[in-house]
Amino acid sequence: MQFGVRENPGRYENLDYDNDNAARGVLPMPTVIDPPATDNPVQRILLEGLSWQRFEQLSACFEDSRAVRLTYLDGRLEILSPIGPGHATLKRTIGYLLDADLTVKGIRFYGRGGFTLKQPGRAAGEPDESYCIGADKPLPDLVIEVVVTHEALSKLPLYQGLEIPEVWLWRNRDLEVYVLDPDGYRRGTRSRLLPDLDLALLAAHARMPDQYDAVQAFRRAIGLDHNPGQAAPASAHA
């Protein structure tokens, strides 16, 4: 099997591939690798022309690894690695903040965490956090994604196919809210599921450098705890 390699700025592509191997599902074609930028250690590998069966075989190899994130959509498999502790801390911070807000409002919720959501034969991906609101359900009402690289495959088609009502993306140090309409996801200015949630306040606390301080300050800001001696951060972007 021969590979021709063409070099672009920060990108390498397999140009030739043994079609017999491709037909047997041995390896996908082509492979695109984006080396990590100096300010982002995440490496992105994109495999195209990959069958669903082959995806399931590959995903089984990574099922015990929390440092690797797989997303499959219409024959394309994206592998992101490493998913480091900073990413994990941020997603949990957002989760802790949302938990506190739901608790103070007396809203029944069920945190589902991150688990693989599948549209068999077409798409699969794992959100960072997910929630059922009001009652526990087989599929979450809300999924939360911390975007680790701007070139990552969008999981919105997967979530739309599963009719997930709402998706939050943490990108560029801010929250983006997408609500599901009949024609697809539409970016909104507030949560449809939680219309009384102050998204700007939550985002301001998510930007705080220390998770414990962020959660405690947010709890005071929403009235869950009371400590007048310490001010909460403003809602304006940092």
More confident residue, 165 or 14: 165
What is the per-residue pLDDT for 158? 92
> How many angstroms from the chain centroid is the CA of residue 154?
9
Q: Grade residue 23 by pLDDT with cuts at 50, 70 and 90.
A: very low
pLDDT in tens, 63-90: 878 778 899 999 999 998 867 778 889 9
| Residue 232 in this model has a pLDDT that exceeds 70 | no
Residue 169's contacts (CB-CB under 8 Å, 6 or more residues apart) are 144, 145, 147, 175, 176, 178
More confident residue, 6 or 49: 49
- The residues pairing with 133 across neighbouring beta strands, listed in sequence order, are 109
Alpha-helix residue ranges (DSSP H) falling in the chain: 19-23, 52-61, 85-104, 156-161, 199-206, 211-221
Mean pLDDT estimate for the chain: 81
- The residues pairing with 129 across neighbouring beta strands, listed in sequence order, are 144
The reply to whether omega before 228 is within 30° of 0 (cis) is no
pLDDT in tens, 144-192: 999 877 766 789 999 999 999 999 999 989 999 999 999 999 999 999 9
Distance CA 92, CA 68 (A): 17
What is the per-residue pLDDT for 233? 55
pLDDT in tens, 97-147: 999 999 999 999 999 887 889 999 999 999 999 999 999 999 999 999 998
pLDDT > 70: percent of the chain:
76
| Residue 16 in this model has a pLDDT that exceeds 50 | no
> How many angstroms from the chain centroid is the CA of residue 18?
34
Distance CA 62, CA 51 (A): 17
DSSP codes joined into one string, 44-82: EEEEES--HHHHHHHHHHTTT-SS-EEEEETTEEEEEE-
Residue 212's contacts (CB-CB under 8 Å, 6 or more residues apart) are none
What is the per-residue pLDDT for 12? 31
Distance CA 62, CA 50 (A): 16
Q: Kindly give the pairing relationship between strand 76-81 and strand 43-48.
A: antiparallel
Distance CA 76, CA 45 (A): 10
Lowest mean pLDDT among 18-22, 197-201, 217-221: 18-22
| Residue 32 in this model has a pLDDT that exceeds 70 | no
Asked whether the beta carbons of 184 and 209 are under 8 A apart, the reply is no
| Residue 221 in this model has a pLDDT that exceeds 50 | yes
Rg for the chain (alpha carbons), in Å? 20
What is the per-residue pLDDT for 185? 96
What is the per-residue pLDDT for 227? 54
Assigned CATH for 85-221: 3.90.1570.20
- The residues pairing with 81 across neighbouring beta strands, listed in sequence order, are 43
pTM above 0.75, yes or no: yes
Match 């498999």 to its residue by tokens. Answer: 77
Asked whether the beta carbons of 162 and 180 are under 8 A apart, the reply is no
| Residue 202 in this model has a pLDDT that exceeds 60 | yes
Asked whether the beta carbons of 202 and 105 are under 8 A apart, the reply is no
